[in-house]
Amino acid sequence: MQSIRNIAIIAHVDHGKTTLVDKIIHASKLFRENQESGELILDNNDLERERGITILSKNVSVTYKDVKINIIDTPGHADFGGEVERVLKMADGVLLLVDAFEGPMPQTRFVLSKALGLGLTPIVVVNKVDKENCRPDEVHEQVFDLMFNLDATEEQLDFETMYGSSKMGWMSDDWQNQTDSITPLLDKILETIPEAPSPEGTPQFQVTSLDYSAYVGRIAIGRVYQGKLEEGKSMGLTKADGSIKRVRIKELQVFEGLGRVKVSEVKAGDLCAIVGLEDFEIGDTLTDFENPEPLPRIAIDEPTMNMLFTINNSPGFGSEGKFVTSRHLRDRLMKEIEKNLALKVEETDTEDKFLVYGRGILHLSVLIETMRREGYELMVGQPQVIYKEIDGQRCEPIESLVVDVPEDVSGKVIELATQRKGELKIMEPKGDQQHLEFDIPSRGLIGLRNNILTATAGEAVMNHRFKEYQPYKGEIKGRSNGSLISMENGPGTAYSIDKLQDRGVFFVAPGEDLYTGQVIGEHSRENDLVVNIQKGKKLTNMRAAGSDDNSKIAPPRRFSLEEAMEYIQKDEYLEITPQNIRMRKIYLDENTRLRMAKSAG
């Protein structure tokens, strides 16, 4: 029987995790010599490639020296924390990948603490030692300190370390001694990571993640902890409420290379995918129906934010997207919750509006961006945090915010965070940077990244993750400037924009098609201002010397999707189409807005 090693890879965004997996795949000759595979094999969705982040965890399996190594890729971003914990349950060891210059980052700490808590055996890989001014020895010390602070056991602190460059395709146990291949790392995995145990007995398989296929529906993915599973066999599925229902395994698949292959049975210790289970949830155990032995359930992180999704009813709707009706929107959201577990969708009293709950701005924006690329048109409202009643007190989600920033601008960061009810917990120098840690309400984070990056000239590195619910911290002042709103339909002219520049900053360039009620800029004062930028210049045949100087217009301010989501106010929507992202007022007509403001006031 083939020996198995299950290993999860942990790394911060951009430390080279996906590249390393690519190299391991190449090293184990998964691709034929002449087969084109391209780079970043694992990040196969466009968004992941563009942002350079792994969003969904994926499994890959390679065979080296007759041992099957299952590599489980974990997301490095805290918004996807729910994924991380479940994925780690499938592993027996963990590969911690750190950058030889940056060292362990805040996000790594979150995943690593979970891995150590589960008792996994770590191997540390210090990557990118070919970069100039890297400091592999210092980074090794930092990793040791980090593990010590996370209460690692004696055995875990006695970890093995490998150095190398996954980009150049080499690994070695001494960073000054460059080898020519990545195999020393694979040898180290076989030596260090314990073999997956395969106890006999009642079958136990826990669902830790899921896949979705249009042909066979939901596919359960997880690890067989005990006994063996056989195709076509009738089993029991234990649910959250303690009940058990009879199910049948239609098809079993194990991971091989980048894909899955069909098998007739799977033994304990291996990871597999099961087709044909009806109505299962994450954490359910598949076991014997007559004498069930369920495994302890896995908790899923709950959402901390929600946004209103609705159909696009702006003047130009339907001109760019393929899917514009409420039925399209509903079907797409329902399809998403089949496989995106930290997401919840709630229907409202009108059939074209949905409340979508997620783990944070990034989590929700990835969904919106994906839908936009698929050809959907929709509108979303301002992100709202989710409050809870705990012991009769109104509580809100608090996040732990970590900012690394140059020393001379750290004062500005502290000022901005404390204005939003952030409490400074830790302040310590880290090289030539200042390391700051705050406890801050989730709603205080909305829009904060923009302000901090502006104040620090883009030098700050920010990360945050959910900590706990705490009593409500009081009012937080939102954006202090009002909006500039278009009065007419049609393209704006350079002449009008030039004349109105002292009123604020524009988000649109001359010639862009606008509509009444669209937010086209930020007012220099607190109130909203309706402006007409469609007016052309009055033409006369009189010419005065010097008065005809050309308009000098500041370039428009452009927003990314996340920036726009954080920027909009309560009475505004974000209109999202495959080609454009526009901000607009919920009520396009000015008189309706005034009436609504009066009745609300």
Whether 236 has a binding-site annotation, put simply, is: no
> CA dihedral defined by 331, 333, 334, 335, rounded to 10 degrees?
80
Whether 247 has a binding-site annotation, put simply, is: no
Write out the DSSP string of 18-44: HHHHHHHHHHTT-S-TT----S-SS--
Cβ 238 vs Cβ 292: under 8 Å: yes
The Cβ of residue 276 has, within 10 Å, a number of other Cβ atoms equal to 17
Whether 130 has a binding-site annotation, put simply, is: yes
The Cβ of residue 449 has, within 10 Å, a number of other Cβ atoms equal to 17
Whether 348 has a binding-site annotation, put simply, is: no
- DSSP-derived pairing of the beta strands 251-256 and 228-230: unpaired
Burial-class residue 329 by CB neighbours within 10 Å (0-12, 13-18, 19+): buried
Whether 363 has a binding-site annotation, put simply, is: no
CA angle, 421 then 424 then 429, to 5°? 145
CA angle, 564 then 79 then 53, to 5°? 80
Beta-carbon contacts of residue 334 (< 8 Å; ≥ 6 apart): 345
Query: 52-61 burial string, b = 16+ CB within 10 Å, else e?
Result: ebbbbbbbbb
Which residue's structure tokens are 């915010």? 401
Whether 14 has a binding-site annotation, put simply, is: yes
Whether 513 has a binding-site annotation, put simply, is: no
Q: Is the dihedral of CA 499, 505, 509, 514 positive or negative?
A: negative
Whether 127 has a binding-site annotation, put simply, is: yes
Bridge partners of residue 122, in order along the sequence: 94
Whether 161 has a binding-site annotation, put simply, is: no
Whether 473 has a binding-site annotation, put simply, is: no
Q: Which residues are annotated as a binding site for GTP?
A: 14-19, 127-130
Q: Which residues are annotated as a binding site?
A: 14-19, 127-130
